[in-house]
């Protein structure tokens, strides 16, 4: 195994005979990830909330793909998907929301945490017994500004701030990555967990913030300095297909990780706090009703 080195990388290795699940695969980073994998021979499951959009995305992909309904913010949907999916080589936890107005999931969980972290936490643990290779966690540079308030994950005491809620959920992604790898290693499993972030990439993720100004600023800023979606997907693809160690985190190599080619990148001090990771894991088990299955 080796860490990625700086330099142009666009050649995803052949993935013949391998099955991938990509959440949120109908647009943006998820679509480009699924497209690249299918074109390299993988069988790709587009796990999407909107089946019609998923089918439209599937028609744009050359290769073997299937569309399955999954709303990662709804734990009943996560359980139904996991119960029927069969064996999978790689799970790519990509789906996410950014800067949305305050809202609760069907399970009563704040929407950023429910979508970006908790649903994927449950999905990964439910699939572990049938997973053959790895879990890939898509995070963000925003994790560096995240503050995880374990006694107020739902923003019931704090004044709700949509971008702070997003950053908290992205920090949760990083802590989940590290803690899941720690648990797998302790259990003697050869499964690995890797992660990546797209830097500044021009996608539609800012389209539903509820703030016209912030949507415009996000779209304008990403369009000005960001990468196209195909290039923003490269860190995820590297983390999903290359022979890198567990707990590797991949991002763009230049401009404060906003742009460039895939390379191993660092993470915040909070993201490497083992006590915080274990505490979040415990809270996530309580909220989701799903536990680590290999203990």
CA gap 36, 94 in Å, rounded: 15
What does the pLDDT look like over 157-206, one tens digit per residue? 999 999 999 999 999 999 999 999 999 999 999 999 999 999 876 555 44
Per-residue confidence at 1, pLDDT binned at 50, 70, 90?
Answer: low
Average pLDDT over the chain reads 91
Of 163, 166, 238, 249, the active-site residue reads 166
Q: What percent of the chain has pLDDT over 90?
A: 83
Per-residue confidence at 117, pLDDT binned at 50, 70, 90?
Answer: very high
Q: How far is CA 267 from CA 50, 198, 249, 272, in A?
A: 33, 14, 8, 7
- Residue 226 has a pLDDT of 67
- Residue 256 has a pLDDT of 74
CA gap 157, 294 in Å, rounded: 36
- Told to judge if 166 belongs to the known catalytic residues of this protein, a careful annotator would answer yes
CA gap 4, 92 in Å, rounded: 19
Given a contact cutoff of 8 angstroms between Cβ atoms, the answer to whether 95 and 24 are in contact is yes
CA gap 258, 158 in Å, rounded: 30
- Residue 240 has a pLDDT of 98
Per-residue confidence at 42, pLDDT binned at 50, 70, 90?
Answer: very high
- Residue 14 has a pLDDT of 98
- Residue 271 has a pLDDT of 98
- Residue 221 has a pLDDT of 47
What does the pLDDT look like over 58-98, one tens digit per residue? 999 999 999 999 999 999 999 999 999 999 999 999 999 99
Domain boundaries 19-288, corresponding CATH code = 3.40.50.720
- Residue 220 has a pLDDT of 44
CA gap 115, 246 in Å, rounded: 24
Residue 136 has pLDDT above 90, yes or no: yes
For the ranges 98-102, 206-210, 245-249, which has the lowest average pLDDT? Answer: 206-210
- Residue 204 has a pLDDT of 52
pTM above 0.75, yes or no: yes
- Residue 202 has a pLDDT of 55
Given a contact cutoff of 8 angstroms between Cβ atoms, the answer to whether 134 and 181 are in contact is no
Find tokens 């985190």 and name the residue: 249
């Amino acid at each position: 195994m080796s860490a990625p080195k700086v330099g142009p990388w666009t050649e995803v290795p052949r993935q013949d005979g391998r099955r991938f699940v990509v959440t949120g695969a109908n647009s943006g980073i998820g679509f480009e990830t699924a497209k690249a994998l299918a074109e390299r021979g993988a069988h790709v499951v587009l796990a999407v909330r909107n089946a019609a959009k998923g089918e439209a995305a599937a028609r744009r992909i050359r290769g073997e793909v299937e569309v399955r309904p999954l709303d990662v913010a709804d734990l009943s949907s996560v359980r139904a998907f996991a119960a029927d999916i069969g064996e999978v080589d790689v799970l790519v936890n990509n789906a996410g929301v950014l800067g949305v107005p305050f809202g609760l999931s069907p399970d009563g969980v704040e929407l950023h945490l429910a979508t970006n972290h908790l649903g994927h936490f449950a999905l990964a643990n439910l699939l572990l017994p049938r997973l053959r290779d790895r879990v890939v966690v898509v995070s963000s540079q925003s994790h560096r500004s995240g503050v995880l308030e374990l006694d107020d994950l739902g923003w019931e005491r704090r004044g709700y701030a949509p971008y702070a809620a997003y950053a908290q959920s992205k920090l949760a992604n990083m802590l989940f990555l590290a803690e899941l790898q720690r648990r797998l290693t302790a259990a003697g499993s050869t499964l690995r967990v890797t992660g990546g972030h797209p830097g500044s990439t021009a996608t539609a993720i800012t389209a539903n913030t509820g703030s016209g100004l912030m949507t415009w600023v996000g779209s304008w800023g990403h369009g000005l300095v960001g990468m196209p979606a195909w290039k923003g997907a490269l860190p995820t693809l590297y983390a999903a297909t290359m022979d890198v160690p567990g707990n590797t985190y991949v991002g763009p190599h230049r401009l404060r990780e906003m742009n460039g080619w895939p390379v191993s990148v660092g993470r915040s001090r909070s993201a490497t706090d083992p006590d915080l990771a274990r505490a979040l894991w415990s809270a996530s088990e309580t909220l989701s009703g799903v536990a680590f299955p290999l203990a």
